[in-house]
Amino acid sequence: MTFSWYPGKTSLTYTHSKDPLILPSKTGGASRALPELCKDIIPECSLNPLLFNGHLQTFWTATNRGGPPVHYKRRVFSAENPKFEGTFAVDFVVAPPKEKDEAAVDGGPEDEGLRKDPAGVGHHRLPPRTTYFTDKEFESLPSASSTKPLLIALHGLSGGSYEVYLRHVLAPLVAATSEGEKAGGLSGGDWEALVVNSRGCAGSKITTSILYNARATWDIRQIVKWCRETWPKRPLFGIGFSLGANIMANYLGEEGTACPLSSAILVSNPWNLDTSSQTLQRTYLGLNVYSETMGTSMLKLYNTHAPQIPHLSSAKVNSITYLHEFDREVQCATWGYPTEGAYYRDASSCDSVLGIRVPTLCLHARDDPIASDEGVPYGEIKQNPYVIMCATGVGGHLSWFEWGGGRWFTKPTVAFLNAMAKDIDLDRIEMPDVVDAEGKAVHKTPFVFEPMRRKLHIPGNDQ
């Protein structure tokens, strides 16, 4: 049983290293282990008792189109790495506009002064509450001396900064406060945040045939580097949702001890994409509801940008029904994978978790019908003192609906980020020794296990 006698209350289980990361206090108080901190700040999970399994929780997201309003200003960046040339859109959270501009940014009649891209790249149709920065506005971003914490977010498959689950986390962090207003900045809150939109998502245009995939860490890497150079005194944090969590985990693993982020959160990460795909295909709901829905959303995204992707056969792509078929026709043809299974195995983050070297909280529901519990790397998490997994018995995929419509996952994410930013002295965290596979071998071996070594790679390039 995953629910207790109390209606809607579900279990919480924690997976972590027996020798976890020790976190020093900013106030000079006693240091705390990462699991101890998480268990103290993460509340019990009481969900809507009418949504008593992962399917019902996940289905309910289709009816939950509201959520807190979050306003954005967009900037289009050009890729610095010539191997991944093209542009991508980054949405910065800003304070709500003046009342007279609300109609334009909330989906009413468009005001070209608000919605036209100054860079000339263009868009299809911007999401609600989103406008472009003017050059003058962008040049007026907070100064290099700012110390306000900044959250960098990645959305899920074919989504964008407008997603309800994402706004549920951003809204309480960036809500205007007297302290935040005193510190100045974009949002007026104690935090600032931005969302890196995957190429072609959220109304952005692609300018080359370089698409995004589950290993597409190049854009998040560029933005984190840009943020560090722009605001050298700011603590930077990361959060990823679903496929964005897989990308974030891969990025964290690739960066290792050099990661500029201070801490991170991974929500509903599919981890092992091959396992999750096989799980979807073995049941009627998995194949004909979840996989078909995701395949349809990706097909719609493809058709929006088809003229910019001439190497693909539009007829073949439009013959697909399911997500794995889309990946077979599009991702394999784009990146050179022989099969979608090879792509899934190579792009999965279940081994990347071994390379993470910043405090990282993972949130997962064991009944998640999309990010299969079979694919969660519980054993690998136990080997890494920097990572802790909090798994609930019920919750679905990016759901966790409470009675009244709230989302439970907002509470642990906001609590963890605030604890890391306000209570933990991130500069004094001592790097513990992490025993690698070679060190675990019983006999002397010439082999070394490298969790970030990928099959698809650029010869002569470590990334």
pLDDT in tens, 238-285: 999 999 999 999 999 999 999 999 999 999 999 999 999 999 999 999
Residue at a domain's end among 347, 380, 395: 347
In a shared domain, residues 232 and 205: yes
Bridge partner residues of 132 (DSSP): 74
pLDDT of residue 4: 46
Tally of domains in the chain? 2
Decide if 28 is inside a domain: yes
In a shared domain, residues 279 and 266: no
In a shared domain, residues 280 and 214: no
pLDDT of residue 187: 83
**Nearest residue to 263 (alpha-carbon basis) of 180, 348, 191, 178:** 191
> Long-range contacts of range 442-451, CB-CB < 8 Å, 24 or more positions apart?
451/253, 451/351, 451/352, 451/353, 451/354, 451/355
**Domain of 172, in residue numbers:** 9-68+149-272+355-431
In a shared domain, residues 230 and 367: yes
Residue keyed to tokens 């201070």: 262
In a shared domain, residues 44 and 166: yes
Residue at a domain's end among 287, 317, 347: 347
In a shared domain, residues 167 and 238: yes
In a shared domain, residues 343 and 411: no
In a shared domain, residues 292 and 333: yes
Beta-carbon contacts of 123 under 8 Å, excluding residues fewer than 6 positions away, are 89, 115, 117, 203, 204, 205
pLDDT along the chain (463 residues), means of 10: 62 96 92 97 96 96 86 97 94 85 41 50 81 95 94 97 96 83 78 97 92 93 98 97 98 97 98 98 98 97 93 94 97 95 98 97 98 98 97 97 94 98 94 63 73 87 59
Beta-carbon contacts of 394 under 8 Å, excluding residues fewer than 6 positions away, are 2, 3, 10, 45, 47, 52, 53, 54, 57, 365, 366, 367
In a shared domain, residues 268 and 280: no
In a shared domain, residues 255 and 383: yes
Decide if 79 is inside a domain: no
Q: How far apart are alpha carbons 169 and 115 in whole angstroms?
A: 25
Decide if 251 is inside a domain: yes
pLDDT of residue 433: 73
Decide if 452 is inside a domain: no
Beta-carbon contacts of 416 under 8 Å, excluding residues fewer than 6 positions away, are 38, 41, 42, 263, 265, 361
Beta strands in 318-440 (DSSP E): 360-365, 387-392
Q: How far apart are alpha carbons 175 and 279 in whole angstroms?
A: 39
pLDDT of residue 109: 33
Decide if 409 is inside a domain: yes
CATH number, domain containing residue 399: 3.40.50.1820
Residue keyed to tokens 């794995």: 324
pLDDT of residue 119: 55
Beta-carbon contacts of 386 under 8 Å, excluding residues fewer than 6 positions away, are 21, 34, 356, 357, 358, 359, 360
Residue at a domain's end among 324, 347, 370: 347
In a shared domain, residues 342 and 202: no
pLDDT of residue 29: 85
Decide if 141 is inside a domain: no
pLDDT of residue 440: 58
pLDDT of residue 434: 75
Decide if 439 is inside a domain: no
Sign for the CA dihedral angle at 55, 127, 172, 242 comes to positive
Decide if 361 is inside a domain: yes
In a shared domain, residues 58 and 162: yes
Residue keyed to tokens 């049983």: 1
